[in-house]
Chains A and B, each alone.
Chain A
């Protein structure tokens, strides 16, 4: 190691004097501490750590020192600059954090503002009810069948054991189409789909047919010339009324919840024998306290539809061997089901097209 350079007094070089460096550091630290924002800090950095800052200039002087003095001066200035840069860095972090915090506060919005820029759409509840019903049966392995709405008279009536002189024909107020020789009607029920199904495929048949039907009723709160039915048909070996009951109970439970099943009352339909009316346990009052129930009006039961064992005459007309196969069929109103399930009081709402009717039902019912 070389001895001390007694010929050189670093104090002679003013910027490198310890007190001078210390003063610069102090000034710089004071400026850093005094920088109120990022802009001010930037200025401080220029002044106290920039290329033309006193400490930078002092640093440049080091090169002019004799070698033996450089080390000390270098260490002093280096330390000083380090302190300043560190202070700058720390202050920058603080100011940036402050800045960000302030920005976030300033960017506060009113999140309660409406966001209804786009229109909300909806599917029609009758469409969705038809689909829901179809899904119940598809889940049981049945298939969905459809048919035309303008239908041959023979399929709408004769094939279903309703010949031209059958009194039951007058019970279905029919829209007849012109000319009379065309023998066409607007189907009065979805039952012709049954006939079509039997005529076009081999048993076993498990189908459900939702669709639009027509009767000459003027529209009012409970009637419409256009309405919707769902029909079920099963043709297989060994099918009984018990299978009919089982299917309808399952259907009722799927639509209205656990514990909601059906009861049969004897009835009459030309296309079934035996025939029954299907009542549903009132899903609102469940028969308890029925007297005050608005849904079943004190009955404890809701009339739901008709059903029965397919009349062998229908099987014969539709080419199914009545000796080998038996079957059952049922039908109910989709509109009516939707109305009592959702408390719709006026049938006109369904067909009028006011968007406010469908919209609350959304996209699934």
Chain B
């Protein structure tokens, strides 16, 4: 909401000394937030003066344009008193007109410097200005089609044009919260200013209005709930061609509304002034009585914006015998539109139900100045005064005659009364607020207050539909006392339980990975079928079962991710594309797994949900476990003066999962698997017991290609919640002997397909109690071991807890270990 300061001051006796900045600051602290402050004069450096056009020579140009070579009297403003020669391209003025002249040396908005310069064969010493060039609202000063032509009595040549144009008048733009619909009017803003500076307020809605009679325009309201009040007045003989007076055009432009025609400007002006949306009908185009009713399904209406709209049975309509002529409180129709030939006007000032307007506005995506106000709540007591104000202006400015008929259908609902303890504001805010202050502040916002002992009853003003609860009264009292007076007190410290275990463990995971050279990323969980194709997921892959957004930002990505890999691999591709060739990424985030028949109930809010209702909510919310994903490409160890680098591989992906599990004290088992998007021969299943927690390995070559990353890039994804659930919280103390260790190495030849982990497990088991560790230190294939075979070299360590091993003990244990490996997987010891 934009408000010219001069307009605000019209209704409130602000001391002259109050600056615009102070006014804006005060209103901000009352809840009308300063969004922008503009003073047109501040954007211009003079000289900017009034000039009288003495002569105009029309000079046709080769390009077909005609320019005007003018002489303009600017009196002594140019230092010489001689007429100023200026070239002007506009044509909406004649000799003798008063215009606004920018003399050389002036700087216009946009740092546009004016100087005397040669153009079209003349020295043009300045510029005759349009409203737009001066940064004034579009259409101000009737300059729709050219320069500003001032009224004949506006001033004399040489006068300072800043004053004549009122350019020192600032416009404050406020951000108005939904609960302060009354502040979408000058009436409301001025009232706040009066409250803020504790000075009297003159309510522009406070006027004597003629009583309703039976002679007004006929109106029938079929839906009193949707339209509790409908006031109709009319004027006759309105001069639709009369110009909008300068002061009105200027205020409209300042408030951000484009002046259009006198009739429309008057309705807009009154809406801005009072906050009551007004609609005008050309009486000649109305057929029979105005009727307010709900639409029937399938009805249509062409609204003023030229759109043909299909109406819903919930839409509240204004109709006449011809059918719909407007969507109530939202936008009028074309058939009864005011035009240049309109002479008799029917004026509608009605009150419509906020919810109905809100739904219609959303249904038709049709926000308008009227609907914006109605959906937030307009003062239902305003219509009569607003209609009367429109009549007054049409008579005054358009030469119309006011008709005697006054139609009033329905009445404003009674004012609401809210009861509260007198000390409630003090108790809720922690400020020292006396009962007297509470009453005084409520009266300032327009309440009638009666106090009975410790309780007060506040009759809430009609323009404050938002005030319905005791705590609403608290806010009103508190903001007038001043939020800056709220003391700063720490609440009593509870004995907290510290960070939840899951959070601690997640931090640990992040630190372990960052320490190992992995960099965390955050990716959007929005995916599409192309991602599933890129990952090479089978049609029946569980990960294709997704939750969809009804209104995705990108139609290609309407699904919520069931795996973190698409986002992470896109990031990996981005890094490669930007030259970050060695990238090891990780991400932790939720994935969204549908349960199948989600249907969350919309419960009441007047009480706590029952256990059944709460269970229904819980059941409807999809399963959203936290996952951990990793992806890497390029080197894990850089090459350098120390020698070769080490290319990252499937092993690093699996290794990182092992590191994470290790940091959580979890022993994981790694098994060969074949799952998309991994290389079928280089994919590991990560499990603990029978539970599969995720997969890791080298990405399938096609997947690498699809995401634009080099072949052999690797990735992993595990269910982090499940992993954290297995974390060992209390590590038991290890026991280890201090007697000497005995070391034995063995090299075993097995079929190439035998998992080394199985061989290691067999060795461990076969070695008996003395075995301390089994570590694979070499894998060898080649002629010596034969085709289809591999040689695995293990280092075995033996130790007894209570004694030094005797000669041959370790050897015997080693032989037993090898024997079991031989029995289990045909391992043969290499000579």
Cross-chain contact B474 with A274 (CB below 8 angstroms):
yes
Cβ proximity bits A281-312 to B, threshold 8 Å, 1 near / 0 not: 00000000000000000000000000001011
Given contacts A245-B489, A247-B491, A268-B178, contact A121 B517 (CB under 8 A): yes
Cross-chain contact A274 with B602 (CB below 8 angstroms):
no
Interface 9-mer from B53-61, B583-591, B661-669, B786-794: B583-591
A43 within 8 A of B: no
- Give the Cβ gap from B36 to chain A, nearest Cβ, in Å: 13
On chain B, the residues within 8 Å of A122 by CB distance are: 514, 519-520
On chain A, the residues within 8 Å of B29 by CB distance are: 265-266
Cross-chain contact A177 with B548 (CB below 8 angstroms):
yes
On chain B, the residues within 8 Å of A319 by CB distance are: 607-609
Cross-chain contact B479 with A266 (CB below 8 angstroms):
yes
A152→B589 CA distance, assembly (Å):
19
Given contacts A216-B553, A350-B522, contact A274 B475 (CB under 8 A): yes
A356→B517 CA distance, assembly (Å):
13
On chain A, the residues within 8 Å of B552 by CB distance are: 175
A175→B525 CA distance, assembly (Å):
13
B812 within 8 A of A: no
Cross-chain contact B429 with A274 (CB below 8 angstroms):
yes
On chain B, the residues within 8 Å of A123 by CB distance are: 510-511, 514, 520
Residue of A nearest to B613 (CB): A154
Given contacts A121-B515, A127-B520, contact A236 B491 (CB under 8 A): yes
A250→B488 CA distance, assembly (Å):
9
List CB contacts (< 8 Å) of A184-236 with chain B: 184, 186, 199, 204, 206, 212, 216, 218, 225-226, 234, 236
Q: Which of B511, B526, B608 contacts A199 (CB 8 A)?
A: B608
Q: How large is the interface on B (under 10, 10 to 19, 20 to 34, 35 or more residues)?
A: 35 or more
Cross-chain contact A150 with B547 (CB below 8 angstroms):
yes
List CB contacts (< 8 Å) of B507-541 with chain A: 507, 510-511, 513-526
- Give the Cβ gap from A126 to chain B, nearest Cβ, in Å: 6
On chain B, the residues within 8 Å of A362 by CB distance are: 514
Given contacts A141-B496, A161-B605, contact A175 B431 (CB under 8 A): no
On chain A, the residues within 8 Å of B510 by CB distance are: 123, 127, 363
B389 within 8 A of A: no
Q: Which of B33, B354, B601, B603 contacts A265 (CB 8 A)?
A: B33
On chain A, the residues within 8 Å of B622 by CB distance are: 148, 150, 184
Residue of A nearest to B605 (CB): A317
Most buried by A among B359, B515, B606: B515
Residue of B nearest to A174 (CB): B551
Residue of A nearest to B372 (CB): A167
A245→B635 CA distance, assembly (Å):
51
A24 within 8 A of B: no
Residue of A nearest to B520 (CB): A124
Cross-chain contact A154 with B600 (CB below 8 angstroms):
yes
- Give the Cβ gap from B497 to chain A, nearest Cβ, in Å: 6
A182→B486 CA distance, assembly (Å):
43
- Give the Cβ gap from A248 to chain B, nearest Cβ, in Å: 8
Interface of A is mostly: mixed
- Give the Cβ gap from B409 to chain A, nearest Cβ, in Å: 25
Cross-chain contact A276 with B602 (CB below 8 angstroms):
no
B180 within 8 A of A: yes
On chain A, the residues within 8 Å of B499 by CB distance are: 134-135, 138, 144
Most buried by B among A158, A225, A266: A266
On chain B, the residues within 8 Å of A184 by CB distance are: 547, 598, 600, 620-622
- Give the Cβ gap from A18 to chain B, nearest Cβ, in Å: 58
Q: Which of B430, B474, B583 contacts A273 (CB 8 A)?
A: B474
List CB contacts (< 8 Å) of B546-596 with chain A: 547-553, 560, 567-568, 570-572, 574-575, 578, 580, 582-585, 588-590, 592
Given contacts A234-B491, A265-B483, A355-B583, contact A171 B178 (CB under 8 A): yes
List CB contacts (< 8 Å) of A39-97 with chain B: none
Q: Which of A176, A267, A355 contacts B31 (CB 8 A)?
A: A267
- Give the Cβ gap from B367 to chain A, nearest Cβ, in Å: 9
List CB contacts (< 8 Å) of B1-51 with chain A: 28-31, 33
On chain A, the residues within 8 Å of B496 by CB distance are: 138, 140-143, 206
Most buried by B among A158, A184, A316: A184
- Give the Cβ gap from A112 to chain B, nearest Cβ, in Å: 11
Cross-chain contact A268 with B180 (CB below 8 angstroms):
yes
B310 within 8 A of A: no
On chain A, the residues within 8 Å of B514 by CB distance are: 121-123, 362-363
A242 within 8 A of B: yes
Cross-chain contact B640 with A114 (CB below 8 angstroms):
yes
Cross-chain contact B484 with A152 (CB below 8 angstroms):
no
Q: Which of A141, A142, A243, A264 contacts B484 (CB 8 A)?
A: A264
B702 within 8 A of A: no
- Give the Cβ gap from A76 to chain B, nearest Cβ, in Å: 53
A141→B31 CA distance, assembly (Å):
33
A8 within 8 A of B: no
- Give the Cβ gap from B34 to chain A, nearest Cβ, in Å: 10
Cross-chain contact B520 with A178 (CB below 8 angstroms):
no
A277→B31 CA distance, assembly (Å):
9
On chain B, the residues within 8 Å of A6 by CB distance are: none
- Give the Cβ gap from A167 to chain B, nearest Cβ, in Å: 5
A244→B31 CA distance, assembly (Å):
18
Cross-chain contact B507 with A176 (CB below 8 angstroms):
no
Given contacts A184-B620, A206-B494, contact A273 B550 (CB under 8 A): no
A38 within 8 A of B: no
B450 within 8 A of A: no
Q: Which of A116, A163, A246 contacts B491 (CB 8 A)?
A: A246
Residue of B nearest to A113 (CB): B641
A352→B642 CA distance, assembly (Å):
34
B93 within 8 A of A: no
- Give the Cβ gap from B422 to chain A, nearest Cβ, in Å: 16
Cross-chain contact A240 with B614 (CB below 8 angstroms):
no
B750 within 8 A of A: no
Residue of A nearest to B175 (CB): A267
A337 within 8 A of B: no
B624 within 8 A of A: yes
A36→B497 CA distance, assembly (Å):
75
List CB contacts (< 8 Å) of B472-503 with chain A: 472, 474-475, 478-479, 483-484, 486-500, 503
A324 within 8 A of B: no
A146→B28 CA distance, assembly (Å):
34
Given contacts A261-B488, A266-B479, contact A119 B636 (CB under 8 A): yes
Q: Which of A144, A177, A313, A354 contacts B469 (CB 8 A)?
A: A313
- Give the Cβ gap from B292 to chain A, nearest Cβ, in Å: 20
Cross-chain contact B621 with A152 (CB below 8 angstroms):
yes
Of the A-B pairs whose beta carbons lie under 8 Å apart in the complex, a sample of 21, sorted by A's number, is A117-B637, A119-B638, A121-B515, A122-B519, A126-B522, A140-B493, A150-B621, A159-B605, A212-B590, A225-B526, A242-B487, A246-B491, A268-B178, A268-B179, A273-B469, A273-B472, A353-B522, A353-B567, A353-B575, A354-B574, A362-B514
Contacts A175-B552, A178-B549, A241-B428 known; list 15 others, CB within 8 Å: A114-B640, A119-B517, A123-B514, A148-B622, A150-B622, A171-B178, A212-B590, A225-B553, A242-B430, A242-B489, A246-B488, A246-B491, A266-B483, A312-B470, A353-B572
Which 7 A-B pairs have CB atoms at the shortest separation, nearest pair first? A319-B608, A242-B430, A353-B571, A240-B430, A266-B31, A119-B517, A274-B475
